[in-house]
């Protein structure tokens, strides 16, 4: 795939989810996102108002995370987080699936939680992080199927807080187990242009990375 770097920028969620991220880090993140034309800036909920303000004169979307990074919050907590995030200006929501419920086979709980959050999102994009490093291939497939039934827009590989990030194999498996209108976001461990292109060729429509500038420079 011969994808020029300006095109590639449109796939990238320019991300800073470090626990100690500072205001100046977010200011730099937003400045870079506007300069390079990234799809979105992904930040902790705390920084949504600042990010909205900094991106107001651009097409770059405000993205945040819900139930992050473990996914173990109650559904009610995740719903409240989502409601507040949207009120404050989030345009895209990346939620973490309840990994324990999924691996214990509580599929109705998992599907219902995602569905409720999607209903809260309305026309905002919902990406569901399934945290592939903790799942068998069968569980990854099941998670994607549940996300499809629940109405999610994307399935996403990883938070970046577990021991393993996105792989080409996982992206292909996830793409195979969603409907054609849904998309895959590959995230964590993608640090070079070559890494990003491999993920896109495997079926990813969005790339989550903190190395966006390096990738497109």
| Domain parsing of the chain, residue ranges | 13-216
Prediction pTM value: 0.97
180 phi and psi angles, rounded to 5 deg: -65, -25
pLDDT tops 50 at residue 2:
no
Instruction: Summarize pLDDT for 97-137 with one digit per residue, the tens.
Output: 999 999 999 999 999 999 999 999 999 999 999 999 999 99
Query: Catalytic annotation on 5?
Result: no
Asked if residue 215 lies in contact with residue 192, where contact means CB atoms within 8 angstroms, the answer is: yes
DSSP-derived secondary structure letter, 131: -
Alpha-carbon dihedral sign for residues 33, 34, 36, 38: positive
Please report, to the nearest 10 degrees, the dihedral formed by the alpha carbons of residues 173, 125, 50, 186 taken in order: 10
State the helix-helix crossing angle for 168-176 and 193-202, rounded to 10 degrees.
20
1 band by pLDDT with thresholds 50, 70 and 90: very low
Catalytic residue, chosen from 140, 185, 195, 198, is 185
Query: Catalytic annotation on 156?
Result: yes
Instruction: Summarize pLDDT for 7-48 with one digit per residue, the tens.
Output: 999 999 999 999 999 999 999 999 999 999 999 999 999 999
Per the model's pLDDT, the better-predicted residue between 44 and 6 turns out to be 44
Question: Of 86, 106, 162, 169, which Cα lies nearest the Cα of 130?
Answer: 162
* CA–CA dist 173, 6 (Å, integer): 28
The pLDDT value recorded for residue 27 is: 98
Q: What is the mean pLDDT of residues 143-147?
A: 98
CATH number of 13-216: 3.20.20.70
The pLDDT value recorded for residue 6 is: 86
pLDDT tops 70 at residue 203:
yes
Mean pLDDT, rounded, of the chain: 97
Question: Of 38, 64, 1, 5, which Cα lies nearest the Cα of 203?
Answer: 1
Catalytic residue, chosen from 156, 175, 183, 198, is 156
DSSP-derived secondary structure letter, 181: T
Query: Catalytic annotation on 185?
Result: yes
DSSP-derived secondary structure letter, 130: -
Q: What is the mean pLDDT of residues 81-96?
A: 98
Catalytic residue, chosen from 13, 94, 170, 195, is 94
* CA–CA dist 82, 155 (Å, integer): 17
* CA–CA dist 213, 12 (Å, integer): 10
Instruction: Summarize pLDDT for 148-174 with one digit per residue, the tens.
Output: 999 999 999 999 999 999 999 999 999
């Amino acid at each position: 795939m011969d994808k020029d770097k300006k095109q590639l920028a449109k796939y990238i969620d320019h991300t800073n989810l470090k626990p100690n991220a500072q205001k100046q880090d977010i200011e730099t993140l937003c400045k870079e996102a506007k300069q390079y034309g990234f799809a979105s800036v992904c930040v902790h909920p705390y920084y949504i108002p600042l990010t909205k303000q900094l991106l107001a004169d651009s097409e770059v979307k405000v993205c945040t995370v819900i139930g992050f990074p473990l996914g173990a919050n109650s559904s009610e907590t995740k719903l409240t987080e989502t409601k507040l995030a949207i009120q404050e200006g989030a345009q895209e929501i990346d939620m973490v699936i309840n990994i324990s419920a999924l691996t214990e086979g509580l599929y109705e709980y998992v599907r219902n939680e995602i569905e409720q959050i999607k209903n809260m999102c309305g026309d905002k994009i919902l990406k569901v992080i399934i945290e592939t490093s903790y799942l068998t291939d069968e569980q990854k497939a099941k998670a994607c199927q549940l996300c499809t039934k629940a109405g999610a827009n994307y399935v996403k590989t990883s938070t970046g807080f577990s021991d393993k990030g996105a792989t080409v194999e996982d992206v292909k498996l996830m793409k195979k187990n969603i409907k054609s209108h849904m998309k895959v976001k590959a995230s964590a461990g993608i640090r070079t242009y070559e890494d990003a292109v491999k993920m896109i060729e495997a079926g990813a429509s969005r790339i989550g990375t903190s190395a966006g500038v390096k990738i497109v420079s």
